[in-house]
Amino acid sequence: MKKVSLVSLLLLLSLFAVACGNKSEDKSKSSSESTPKESQKNEQNSNKDSDESKKEEQKSSTDNSQEEQKQADSKNNKTNDSADANQTNEDNKAAKQKAATSFSLSTEGFKVSNLLPVVGGTVRTAYLNSTPALKKDFGNLVFEINQYKVEHVKNATKQVPQTTPESYLAKREGYLVTIDLTVKNKTSKNIMYKPDMINIKSATQSAGGSMDNFVPSAFHLSGSKDPYQFLAGKSTRGLVTYMLDVPKYNALKKETKIVLPNPNSIDSNSPKSTDSKDAVLNFKIS
């Protein structure tokens, strides 16, 4: 009986040991199977993080490239704008220089010399008044000096025919006074007037004018086909000039006046002027 009980006890112990061994093996197997799965999962997470990092780097690189491109484009645009502005300034400058090479009645064109092409030598502008505000209204004719200048010539180099009055300044140092004059006939009748009778004077000297000397053909002061006939209701604009040698200029440059003869003193048949006297205006030439 005791022998049977002992055998039964041993058998129970043996079964318990086997059961424990199987449980440990299952746990180990489960642990062993879990480890590769975790590793695989970690590896996948790692790969995912790496891919996201690469994407961020690529995005950052793309953003930087785009920003650099924007900056480069902006710089190029500014450079192009600057180049266009410089070209415009150069074009404007060239246009002004080109316009200033020929005489006209504009402020800049009036500065161009009509004396130099004829006599050569050294010609400079000794005096210029672009806004003289000299005006006289006789009631029948109105006179306005728009601008005037004084040119000084030395060492003339060109041959000028002796038969022309312009040869006077080709043989000596001297001065040329050029007046831009407008004459308006306010009446309903034609009036005869002689602008070359307008003279400049000082206390000791005087000089008569010319409508031809050193005057380009397009700028003659001619009231009509007859240069002395000023048509009713019309305005005429042109040049009157005065040639002076050095002694005459020196005598005239002190307290200079310009004298406009009264229209009635030249054309007695013209409508009566509101002023019976000649007009005497201050006329600075130095």
Q: Encode pLDDT of 27-43 as tens digits.
A: 444 444 444 445 555 55
Residue 244 — left, alpha, or beta (φ > 0 → left; ψ -120 to 50 → alpha)? beta
CB 235 within 8 A of CB 183: yes
Q: What pLDDT sits at residue 224?
A: 87
**Would you say the C-alpha torsion 144, 146, 150, 153 has a positive or negative sign?**
negative
pLDDT value for 197:
97
Q: Is the pLDDT of residue 278 over 60?
A: yes
Q: Which tokens is 41 given?
A: 């999962």
Q: What is the pLDDT of residue 27?
A: 47
Residue 58 host element (H or E): helix 2-99
pLDDT at residue 163 is higher than 80: yes
Question: Higher-confidence residue: 184 or 55?
Answer: 184
Query: Is there a contact between 173 and 153 (Cβ–Cβ < 8 Å)?
Result: yes
Residue range 188-195: average pLDDT?
97
Q: Please report the pLDDT score of residue 125 as a whole number.
A: 98
How remote is the C-alpha of 205 from its chain's centroid? Answer: 45
What's the mean per-residue pLDDT of the chain? 82
Residues 180/198, Cβ–Cβ less than 8 Å: no
What pLDDT does 54 receive?
Answer: 57
- In this prediction, residue 101 carries a pLDDT of 82
For residue 213, give Cα distances in angstroms to 71, 114, 167: 65, 10, 10
Q: Residue 151: pLDDT band by 50, 70, 90 thresholds?
A: very high
pLDDT (0 to 100) of residue 187: 97
Residue 16 amino acid letter: F
Integer Cα distance of 244 and 206 in angstroms: 10
Confidence band, pLDDT 50/70/90 cuts, at residue 171: confident
Using the Cα atoms of residue 242, residue 175, residue 167 and residue 181 in order, give the sign of their dihedral: negative
User: Which residues lie across from 239 on neighbouring strands?
Assistant: 180, 220
Lowest mean pLDDT across 38-42, 108-112, 135-139: 38-42
- pLDDT computed for residue 223 by the predictor: 83
Two tokens at 274?
A: 């509101």
Nearest to 142 by CA among 196, 195, 217: 195
Whether the per-residue pLDDT at 249 is higher than 60: the answer is: yes
- What per-residue confidence (pLDDT) applies to 71? 74
CA distance 172 to 149: 20
More confident: 26 or 284: 284
- In eight-state DSSP terms, residue 195 is G
Domain 109-282 fold is Immunoglobulin-like (2.60.40)
Domain range summary for the chain, segments of one domain joined by +? 109-282
Q: What is the mean pLDDT of residues 51-77?
A: 62
